[in-house]
């Protein structure tokens, strides 16, 4: 039953991620352009160029804000990562268990080799 829940959560997260792939790419591109604009704004000394870079930066910031659904895609990718980790988690008892029968094969091999 646990695997079914993980499969269901992973399937929903995958659908959300795929459906928001466009805004995710748009967010990445607009953030890269915004980074370039901020670097150019800080580098220039001219007042006119600072105003031009500032106005351009404002337009790109609005384009970045329009890609808010990409946050859902990032959250879905994180949920997929958590589902993947839980799915591949080892369910065997730990080797530090106090149960003498849990590690019988290991103890038998140790006694045999001694």
- pLDDT by residue (tens digit) across 94-104? 555 566 666 77
The domains of the chain are located at 1-20+70-88, 21-68
Query: Quick check: 29 pLDDT over 60?
Result: yes
Q: What is the dihedral of CA 20, 22, 23, 25, to 10 degrees?
A: 120
Q: Helix 70-87 and helix 2-19: axis angle, to 10°?
A: 150
State the pLDDT at residue 93.
Answer: 52
Is residue 69 a contact partner of residue 20, using CB atoms and an 8 Å limit?
A: yes
pLDDT digits (tens, 9 = 90+) for 43-78: 999 999 999 999 999 999 998 888 888 988 999 999
Q: Does the model's pTM come out above 0.85?
A: no
């Amino acid at each position: 039953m646990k695997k079914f829940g993980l499969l269901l959560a992973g399937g929903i997260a995958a659908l959300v991620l795929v459906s928001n792939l466009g805004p995710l790419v748009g967010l990445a591109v607009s953030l890269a352009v915004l980074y370039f604009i901020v670097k150019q704004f800080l580098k220039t000394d001219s007042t006119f160029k600072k105003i031009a870079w500032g106005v351009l930066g404002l337009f790109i910031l609005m384009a970045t804000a329009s890609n808010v659904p990409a946050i859902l895609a990032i959250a879905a990718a994180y949920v997929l990562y958590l589902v993947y980790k839980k799915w591949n988690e080892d369910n065997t008892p730990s080797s530090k268990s106090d149960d003498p029968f849990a590690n019988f094969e290991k103890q038998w091999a140790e006694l045999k080799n001694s």
